[in-house]
Chain A
Amino acid sequence: MIRVILPPHLRGLARIASEVELEIKGPATQRSVLDALEVRYPMLRGTIRDHITQQRRPFLRFFACGEDLSHELPDAPLPDAVVSGTEPLLILGAIAGG
């Protein structure tokens, strides 16, 4: 079970009260977790990754276990603590703008 914590704007958009729990078939990576997230909450498509390029949107960051995973490759394995559900994958909006 992978736990994902979304920023408040996206929780509001998807009408999610708290963190999301996802079952991932196969390797747990940024790509597979985001794919599963978007299948369950299709209204999030295009908000975390660009609709066309599938690249992480510039002002979003991925964190887990105290580490910034934003520049990891999309298919790199997530940390064991995330895969086991001990730690969540955090999707954060960068502090920018007003």
Chain B
Amino acid sequence: MSKVRVLVGTKKGAFVLTSDGKRERWEVSGPHFAGWEIYHVKGSPAEPNRLYASQCSGWFGQIIQRSDDGGKTWIQPGTPPGEPTTAPGGMPKGESNKFAYDTSAETGKPLTTHQWYDGTQHPWEFKRVWHLEPSLTDSDTVYAGVEDAALFRSADGGKSWQELSGLRGHGSGPGWQPGAGGMCLHTIVLDPSNPQRMFIAISAAGAFRTDDAGKTWRPINRGLKSPYIPSPEAEVGHCVHRIAMHGSRPNVLFMQKHWDVMRTDNAGDLWTEVSGNLPTDFGFVIDVHTHEPETIYVVPIKSDGEHFPPDGKLRVYRSRTGGNEWEALTKGLPQRDCYVNVLRDAMAVDSLDKCGIYFGTTGGQVYGSADAGDNWAPIVRDLPAVLSVEVQTLP
């Protein structure tokens, strides 16, 4: 029988939740890396027992962890216990947490600057890894979306990282600005039909696409309207919260923006709003049903000033029409006095026959549905605030 493994990153550690295909009884493992913020944990599609985790701390900075046994044990890549601590040339190992921004090849100076809160230009400063996206085909290759916004790639299992600096260097960088949570590259979507193409999203710059495996990039924000920025239809400057794709239709993307739920049918060349009858179109997460490419899920949040569900009712909204027409999913979710948030990386879908959906809250609950959202139940109720949720479907 198939199994599922839910990978949960929280403010104070990582947790691994496992169940059989019925998804009724769960085992909870953790906390792993207790006391550290775990922004994201994700498994390799090519080798599911290989997991990557972003571990960080305001005191001690960034750490990358890797497991090769499904989360039972972890190492910092390049520094496994018992191995020599220096490379053959005598240089100390320990580069897996080094994220060095590229500089100009001509001048050696910073590649670009970005817009600071006061409107002045500011240099890029690395803070943390928000999102890790393992390659679809090679377990040693993994992408990292970081704050300040940039995309890095490792081809050696996380031991070392190189920036794909065509993203920051393509010209619009000076127009990017930090959102309330910082200037973070939080979304990386790989096109399963075209290894040259990927999509990323940055708060608050917008969405970008590469068609040459990361060498060159262009903004794909046409159709987005953000009335709270100086030029509401600017090429960059939009606060995109999350993008989701169904692998069978890689030209169709769904976006939860700061406000507005959007879709594109041409790989981002033009977006249209599909918020429809949602009670509010502010939110963070968005995801797509594994077997139904027009079935999508969001969790509406009251507003940018009040990060909790409207009316104290935690409701997932489902559209079976690719947007515009939405239904509230409430069975098993708290329908009074609920004031949690669901952060942008905290929803995932499994690939069992009856699609399972999972999301985590800032109140420490992880909810699961084994029937595409019709019924929900908490898997755990009292974790630290949940930052991210991923799920693996295992044989």
Give the B-binding residues of A (Cβ under 8 A).
7-10, 12-13, 15, 38-48, 50-52, 57, 59-60, 93-94, 96-97
Contact = CB atoms under 8 A, between A and B. Distances in A.
B92 A42 contact: yes
B77 to A, nearest CB: 10
Given A9-B59, A57-B59, A51 B100 contact: yes
Interface in B356-394: none
Interface stretch (B60-68, B166-174, B229-237, B309-317): B60-68
22 contacts: A9-B35, A9-B36, A9-B57, A10-B60, A12-B35, A13-B60, A15-B81, A39-B86, A40-B85, A42-B79, A42-B93, A45-B92, A45-B94, A46-B61, A46-B62, A46-B98, A51-B61, A51-B99, A51-B100, A60-B59, A60-B60, A96-B58
B93 to A, nearest CB: 4
On chain B, which size bracket covers the interface? 20 to 34
Nearest to A53: B125
Interface of B: 34-36, 57-63, 76, 78-79, 81, 85-86, 92-95, 97-100, 126
Nearest to A45: B94
B85 A39 contact: yes
A42 B94 contact: yes
Nearest to A57: B61
Contact of A45 (B57, B95, B100): B95
A44 B61 contact: no
Contacts of A45: 92, 94-95, 97-98
Given A39-B86, A43-B79, A45-B97, A9 B60 contact: yes
Counting chain B CB atoms within 10 Å of each CB, which of A10, A38, A39, A42 scores highest? A42
Nearest to B80: A43
Contacts of A93: 59-60
A38 B79 contact: no
Contacts of B126: 52
B181 to A, nearest CB: 15
B59 A94 contact: yes
A24 B387 CA distance: 42
Closest 4 interchain pairs by CB? A42-B94, A45-B94, A47-B60, A59-B59
